[in-house]
Chains A and B, each alone.
Chain A
């Protein structure tokens, strides 16, 4: 395990790690604000078109949405457990748990793809291409535009999170992380939890609040 290096500008490793964590939290706060803008649009348009939004949300596949929620919650738990394993020096368990979480993320994206495909079959496309005959009106189109924006942006975050998890898995397989040397591993897990938190709000807004 390589020794933790202290950069010139810090007095101690503890301060260095605190600064790194603080910086990552500020980044996560900016991500929260990014999604909040989209949730704000959702709030505004839902207040303008309550009935059409409820009807359009009823078209989404609650089963897929719920399974995806459980998948992300579970992967969040296994990533938290992986950090616990790194702290306890259980390297193989840690890499196993991260690999399991990666599997969860991939499964999430596959199910998202299945759902997108169902929407495309029904003629629900974003923007001008929208041509569903049953759910007509501005409200329904706005709902599905927001649906594609929010889930699309979230899916991009899932992909980035998977890249981070791959880096964590590689690092823990090669023994780069261990007890007392888990600061970077912890930063990686924080990003994955953020992806989970965003979905926790996406799920009721796009799937549950239906007619």
Chain B
């Protein structure tokens, strides 16, 4: 009980100060977004958002006065979020796709075969157009 009674001892100005800090950070984030700092934009606005949510967690949700077992829960949740976001970003940024053959045409007739042959030609000679085009002409000629 000692912890909750400690919370009751705050004066109402305590919450006013926290609210002012949140409003100040919001204004800062808005102004920075108008400055258009390029690649810094994302990092700064997310940093400010993280600071704001930490303030809400600690002072409005009283996490700062909680026991370790309660504090551990959001910390673990945030660790999982970090893992999820990091792995998703690694996947998207580090993904390598091999040059694919063009999508087969609707009718698997002569044209489709020619397309695939052209793609094979492109694979053999590299993608720089001339050889691949030559390949298509030859196959088309048949």
B77 and A77 contacting across the interface, CB-CB below 8 Å: no
Partner of A32 from the list B10, B15, B45, B78 (CB cut-off 8 Å) is B78
**Chain A interface helix/strand/loop/mixed:** helix
Measured between beta carbons, the chain B residues less than 8 angstroms from A66 are: 26, 30
Measured between beta carbons, the chain A residues less than 8 angstroms from B78 are: 32
Which of B85-93, B107-115, B117-125 forms part of the interface with chain A?
B85-93
B80 and A44 contacting across the interface, CB-CB below 8 Å: no
Measured between beta carbons, the chain A residues less than 8 angstroms from B23 are: 70, 73
Between B4, B16, B61, B67, the greatest number of chain A beta carbons within 10 A of the residue's beta carbon is seen for: B61
Measured between beta carbons, the chain B residues less than 8 angstroms from A186 are: 62
Known contacts A40-B84, A204-B46, A204-B48; A29 and B73 CB within 8 A of each other: yes
A88 within 8 A of B: yes
A81 and B70 contacting across the interface, CB-CB below 8 Å: no
Known contacts A87-B8, A200-B56; A208 and B29 CB within 8 A of each other: yes
Q: How far is B16's CA from A36's CA once the two chains are assembled, in angstroms? A: 30
B77 and A21 contacting across the interface, CB-CB below 8 Å: no
Measured between beta carbons, the chain A residues less than 8 angstroms from B49 are: 200-201, 203-204
Measured between beta carbons, the chain A residues less than 8 angstroms from B56 are: 76, 193, 196-197, 200
Interface size classification for chain A: 35 or more
User: How many residue pairs bridge A and B at CB < 8 Å?
Assistant: 129
Question: Closest CB of chain A to B63's CB: distance in Å?
Answer: 9
Known contacts A21-B70, A33-B77, A48-B92; A73 and B26 CB within 8 A of each other: yes
A26 and B12 contacting across the interface, CB-CB below 8 Å: no
Q: Which A residues, 176 to 192, have Cβ-Cβ distances below 8 Å to chain B? A: 179, 182, 186, 189-190
- How many chain B residues touch the partner (CB < 8 A)? 48
Partner of A200 from the list B52, B80, B88 (CB cut-off 8 Å) is B52
Binding site for B on A (CB under 8 A): 14, 18, 21-22, 25-26, 28-30, 32-33, 36-37, 39-40, 43-44, 47-48, 62, 66, 69-70, 73-74, 76-77, 79-81, 84, 87-88, 179, 182, 186, 189-190, 193, 196-197, 200-201, 203-204, 208-210
What are 18 A-B pairs at a CB distance below 8 A? A21-B70, A25-B74, A36-B85, A39-B85, A40-B85, A43-B89, A44-B91, A62-B33, A76-B60, A77-B18, A77-B19, A80-B18, A81-B12, A87-B7, A88-B8, A193-B61, A209-B41, A209-B45
Binding site for A on B (CB under 8 A): 1, 4, 7-8, 10, 12, 15-16, 18-19, 22-23, 26, 29-30, 33, 41-42, 45-46, 48-49, 52-53, 56-57, 59-62, 66-67, 69-70, 73-74, 76-78, 80-81, 84-85, 88-89, 91-93
